[in-house]
Amino acid sequence: MRRISTGQLPTEEEVQRLVDETHRELLSVDKGDVSAVYPALSNVPADLFGICVVSQTGVEFVAGDVDVPFALMSVAKPFVLALVVDALGPDAVLRDIGVDATGRPFDSVTAVEESTDGRTNPMVNAGAIATTALIPGADAEERWRYLAKGLSRFAGESLIIDSEIYASASSTNLRNREITTALGARGRITGEPNEALDRYTRQSCLRVTARNLAVMGATLADGGVNPETGDAVVSGETARFVLAVMATAGMYTGSGAWLCEVGLPAKSGIGGGIVTVAPGKGGMGTYSPRLDSHGNSVRGGLAARSLSEALGLDLFASMPVTP
Pick 115 or 6 by higher pLDDT.
Answer: 115
Pick 106 or 180 by higher pLDDT.
Answer: 180
Instruction: Say whether 47 sits in a helix, a strand or coil.
Output: coil
- Give the tens place of pLDDT for each residue, 16-31: 999 999 999 999 999 9
Phi, psi of 206 (to 5 degrees): -65, 145
Give rounded-to-5 percent helix, strand, coil for the chain: 50, 10, 40
Furthest-apart CA pair in the chain: how many Å? 64
Beta bridge partners of 33: 291
Is the per-residue pLDDT at 149 higher than 60? yes
Pick 288 or 39 by higher pLDDT.
Answer: 288
Pick 2 or 195 by higher pLDDT.
Answer: 195
What is the C-alpha to C-alpha distance for residues 45 and 126, in angstroms, rounded to an integer? 29
The whole-number average pLDDT for the span 52-76 is: 97
What is the C-alpha to C-alpha distance for residues 156 and 303, in angstroms, rounded to an integer? 24
CA 136-216-12 angle, 5° bins:
160
Confidence grade of residue 4 (pLDDT, cut at 50, 70, 90): low
What single-letter amino acid sits at 267?
K
Q: Give the list of residues 6+ apart from residue 175 with CB closer than 8 angstroms, or none.
A: 107, 109, 125
Closest of 228, 226, 230 to residue 239, by C-alpha: 226
Confidence grade of residue 71 (pLDDT, cut at 50, 70, 90): very high
What is the C-alpha to C-alpha distance for residues 61 and 211, in angstroms, rounded to an integer? 9
CA 297-298-302 angle, 5° bins:
115
**Residue 254 · residue 265 · CB < 8 Å:** no
What residue ranges define each of the domains in the chain, with the CATH number in brackets? 12-71+208-311 (3.40.710.10), 74-204 (3.40.710.10)
The whole-number average pLDDT for the span 91-98 is: 90
Phi-psi region of 86 (alpha: psi -120 to 50; beta: other; left: phi over 0): alpha
Pick 317 or 321 by higher pLDDT.
Answer: 317
Q: At what angle do helices 125-132 and 193-204 cross, to 10 degrees?
A: 110
The secondary structure of 205-240, three-state, reads: CEEECHHHHHHHHHHHHCCCECCCCCCECCCHHHHH
What's the mean pLDDT when you consider all of the chain? 92
Beta bridge partners of 70: 208
Can you give the pTM of this predicted structure? Answer: 0.94
